[in-house]
Structure 1
Amino acid sequence: MPVITIDAPAMSKKQKRELVRSFATTASQVMNLPVSAIVIIIREVESENVGVGDILLCDHKPTE
């Protein structure tokens, strides 16, 4: 039973459903397994708990 773990920012339940559906369907096709064999774990990560380089993601200023 493959386990796919996704670390991501907070998402709505609708977004999570879409993400799980998409990953499970693709993994099922690629691995030639039934979709019911795919386990997906979503871990929501606050931006203050992620560093990119030497900067916390919450302090990162988006470029325009």
Structure 2
Amino acid sequence: MIDDFAPGTMWEMGRFYPRPVIGYTSMPNRGLNVMLAESVSAFANGKKELAEILSHLDEIIMKSPITQVKG
């Protein structure tokens, strides 16, 4: 949940960049700064958008960098 842009939340999102991260805010028309926008797999502004994103969770997981690694 990104409602106040706490520095700790920003660090955690960057730390887990290779893994699927879905950003969510309950504040209408709230966006992300460029750094965070490039760090998340998807961003939902409200419950309706979150439900839509979660309905495509398999696709989001498969597109994440960590699942693209070949052994």
Common fold: TM-score over 0.5? no
Larger radius of gyration: 1
TM-score scaled to structure 1, two decimals? 0.30
TM-score scaled to structure 2, two decimals? 0.28
Higher relative contact order (Cα pairs below 8 Å, separated by 6+ residues)? 1
Larger strand proportion of the pair: 1
